[in-house]
DNA sequence: GCACACTGTGTGCGCCATACACAGACCATA
DNA sequence: TATGGTCTGTGTATGGCGCACACAGTGTGC
């Protein structure tokens, strides 16, 4: 393969069809694959997504999928692309802080809608259309700031990492709020048992204090924005340092 | 199982043996399993770790492992526990910033030594001894600050997330520096092709500027500490806001 | 000295990703 | 309009995986 050639999946996602050549017409489109796979993943997590199950969902045989997707990993790329869809349109009236906050919340909401996204092993940096659109949207949030392009990239990545990381901590696959509460209760109980104040004073201190919040506890909206603001404060000082 | 009972793996990791009861003595210890599994993972990534391969490495049969580990996921817990080993001892002469920086760098070095750690799907919050020791160590870095225990936890998690996130971006499995450079070159080339300035001005701007640094490019030491300092600046403002 | 809990083993099941050969469908060209 | 070549979806097969289960031997506490 010429190295200038994109992998087949990316070609399909970007709509670079090329030719209408001899041979039967494709019976479906990668978007169909995406829809079927996302449906399965939403229902049963990423583990519920297998080539055969996706194919069965579409009413085709397993091997037919390989006409659209070179390998399982490519299936993940397709799922990601369609699960996130378009990035939010950011209100230009807001300042950078308001804009990147809206962006982060939209990102978080996407992850909350499709928790399996966090389970996808990231192999390559993003190149699909919607992924790039999200990147662009995040970068644009810093329009009007004195940050250089590279610094905007770093800042956006920082927020990106934060959202992913916190989502990872909270939404470990559990969709039912009751399950979350129960798991949290069990965790704090075990932690209390194991992290004795003599050996782990710091951990023990965090356990004494609050009402019901353990480590990966109810990392709810308030806590999300609180942590996010800490990150944004850091970016803020970088900005002000830039313009003395 | 009584809910107060820890899962078998955690019992083993904490050395809660209980009894010397009838029956043959165990032929090996979970640390042996850990060593074998880590060896395989270091060599061939997490995908190279299977129950049968680990067993073969030890000279035992596959099923014998299940006497020590209830499921594959537990194997991951064991690997994590032994791969990270003890947290760094933080110099109390340093201020919180120096301490948490040292902690973050130690964490980063651990991830760099064992990149497969990033591929482990996180199911449950940490409860194993060394994991808790790392938590404690990270919390202790904020000794002397006016931060409340819960805020220390948030701050530590923020740093934790940052290190994981950046490591995820850079060390995507590629151990050879040449491979990294090559992958980066290919990525920027493709990005340049796809992210045209008209549709993706922000992305294009980041591409024009620099010498050879693309998105997931050489996220080297300097860039690591730069981003980390942004995070720490955020924590700093939170601290100073606490004590007016 | 004996019962039995606990050890490691062997076999087997169902699922997975995917390589490969193939029959038919369709379009470009003649 | 005929036909060649190419692309489609399909069937079959392979090697790996996690793990359930039945089993035989071992050694400790009674």
Rounded to whole angstroms, how far apart are CA atoms A67 and A65?
Answer: 5
Neighbour tally for B214: CB within 10 Å: 21
Rounded to whole angstroms, how far apart are CA atoms B51 and B71?
Answer: 9
* Chain D bases having any atom below 7 Å from a protein CB: 4-12, 16-22, 25-29
* pLDDT tens digit at each of 244 positions of chain B: 344 578 889 999 998 876 667 888 889 999 999 999 999 999 999 999 999 999 999 999 999 999 999 999 999 999 999 999 999 999 999 999 999 999 999 999 999 999 999 999 988 899 999 999 999 999 999 999 999 999 999 999 999 999 999 999 876 545 667 777 788 888 999 999 999 999 999 999 999 875 544 444 455 778 899 999 999 999 999 999 976 6
More confident residue, A103 or A213: A103
Kindly list the residues from chain A whose CB atom is less than 8 angstroms away from the CB atom of residue B215.
125, 135, 153
Of B14, B124, B216, the CB nearest to A194: B14
Contact criterion met (CB below 8 Å) for B146 and A218: no
More confident residue, A52 or A185: A52
SS3 B141: coil
Map tokens 């924005």 to a residue.
A225
* pLDDT of res. B172: 57
pLDDT tens column, A21-40: 777 888 999 999 999 999 99
Give A160's DSSP letter: H
Instruction: Choose among A4, A42, A17: nearest CA to B189.
Output: A4
* pLDDT of res. A22: 77
- What is the chain A residue with the closest CA to B193? A4
Rounded to whole angstroms, the distance from the CA of residue A21 to the C1' of nucleotide D3 is: 16
Rounded to whole angstroms, the distance from the CA of residue B19 to the C1' of nucleotide D28 is: 11
Question: Which H or E element spans position A109?
Answer: helix A96-113
* pLDDT of res. B173: 47
Whole-number average pLDDT of chain A: 90
- Tell me, rounded to whole angstroms, the distance of Cα A119 from its chain centroid: 9
Write the DSSP assignment of A58-96 as a string of letters: HTS-GGGGGGT-SSHHHHHHHHHHHHH-SPPPP-TTS-H
Whether the CB of B56 is below 8 Å from some CB of chain A: the reply is no
> Do residue A165 and residue B169 have CB atoms under 8 angstroms apart?
no
pLDDT tens column, A105-158: 999 999 999 999 999 998 889 999 999 999 999 999 999 999 999 999 999 999
pLDDT tens column, B9-52: 999 999 887 666 788 888 999 999 999 999 999 999 999 999 99
Kindly list the residues from chain B whose CB atom is less than 8 angstroms away from the CB atom of residue A209.
148-150
In the Cβ-directed half-sphere of A31, how many Cα atoms lie within 13 Å? 5
Question: Domains along chain B?
Answer: 8-83 (1.10.10.60), 86-172+216-242 (1.10.357.10)
């Amino acid at each position: 393969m010429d190295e200038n050639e994109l992998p087949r999946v990316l070609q399909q996602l970007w709509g670079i069809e090329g030719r209408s050549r001899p041979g039967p017409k494709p019976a479906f489109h990668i978007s169909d694959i995406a829809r079927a796979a996302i449906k399965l993943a939403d229902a049963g997590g990423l583990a519920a997504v297998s080539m055969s199950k996706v194919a069965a969902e579409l009413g085709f045989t397993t091997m037919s999928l390989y006409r659209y997707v070179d390998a399982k990993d490519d299936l993940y790329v397709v799922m990601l692309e369609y699960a996130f869809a378009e990035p939010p349109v950011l209100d230009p009236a807001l300042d950078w802080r308001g804009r990147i906050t809206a962006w982060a919340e939209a990102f978080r909401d996407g992850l909350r809608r499709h928790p399996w996204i966090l389970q996808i092993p990231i192999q390559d940096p993003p190149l699909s259309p919607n992924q790039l659109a999200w990147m662009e949207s995040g970068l644009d949030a810093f329009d009007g700031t004195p940050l250089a392009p590279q610094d905007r990239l770093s800042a956006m990545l920082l927020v990106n990492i934060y959202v992913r990381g916190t989502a990872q901590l909270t939404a470990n696959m559990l969709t039912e709020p009751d399950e979350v509460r129960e798991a949290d209760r069990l965790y704090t109980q075990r932690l209390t048992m194991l992290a004795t104040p003599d050996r782990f004073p710091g951990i023990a201190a965090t356990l004494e204090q609050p009402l019901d919040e353990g480590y990966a506890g109810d990392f709810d909206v308030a806590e999300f924005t609180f942590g996010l603001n800490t990150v944004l404060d850091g970016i803020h000082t970088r900005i002000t340092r830039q313009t003395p």
